[in-house]
Structure formats: C-alpha cells, structure tokens
C-alpha cells in the first residue's frame, strides 16, 4: 500500500522525524499535536481549555490539507498529565463534535513534550 505524508504550514512543523499526518489508503493518521502556535512555534498561553482550542485548530488545519474535516475523524486519543482536567477538556473538545462524535480514548500520562498538559492525536477516514 502506498503512503503519503501530509504537511501544512497552518500547523506546527514537526520537531522530530515524523510527519504531521500520513495517508495510507483511505485512512489518515494524524500525529499528536500540542498547543503550539504555528506562526511562532511557541506554546500558547492560558489554561487547558486554551491549549485544547489551539490543538483542535492545528488538527483541523492538517485535516484540511488532506482534503478532510472533523467530520471524517473516526478515532481520537487524548493524553492528559492530570485527569482533573478531563471535564474542562471535554467541554472544549465536545464543541467540535456536536453530532456523531468519533470513538475516543483518554489517558493520563506522566509527562508530555514541553511540559504541556494535553496532547491529541486523530485517525480519519477519507472519502
């Protein structure tokens, strides 16, 4: 099966040997995003809600580069460093998936890159 890397300047550039997303057949695997501003490469300020909004904007930009949208997302994984943030993240995340939300896992981890409180990755099905 042929695979294709997806990259957009509207999302943060990879900081290691990985792609923002990889298309394999009709599936799109989006790498985990943290709350980096793609214009500056810096973390956004604010709380976990602000981080979640930036992450979703970054993921939407990658989806759009692949010709997809949040409607194509079939699975997400949310990584939190503090499960106490679960309700706040759910509030913001849920506003992006108002009907027919994707399957999801949410796990607490010890640490994330740059000391952020949240990272989100996605899998989408392309038409």
Question: Which residues are annotated as catalytic?
Answer: 106
Phi, psi of 50 (to 5 degrees): -65, -40
How far apart are alpha carbons 30 and 61 in whole angstroms?
11
Best CA proximity match to 74, nearest among 14, 111, 30: 30
Tell me if residue 41 falls in helix, strand or coil.
coil
Best CA proximity match to 41, nearest among 11, 16, 17, 61: 11
């Amino acid at each position: 099966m042929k695979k294709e890397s997806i990259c957009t300047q509207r999302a943060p550039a990879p900081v290691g040997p990985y792609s923002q997303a990889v298309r394999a057949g009709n599936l799109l695997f989006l790498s985990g995003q943290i709350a980096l501003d793609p214009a500056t490469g810096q973390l956004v300020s604010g709380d976990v809600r602000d981080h979640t909004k930036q992450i979703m904007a970054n993921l939407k930009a990658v989806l759009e580069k692949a010709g997809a949208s949040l409607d194509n997302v079939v699975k997400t994984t949310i990584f939190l460093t503090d499960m106490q943030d679960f309700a706040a993240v759910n509030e913001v995340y849920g506003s992006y998936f108002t009907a027919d939300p994707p399957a999801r896992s949410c796990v607490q981890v010890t640490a994330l890159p740059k000391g952020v409180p949240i990272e989100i990755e996605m899998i989408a099905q392309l038409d």
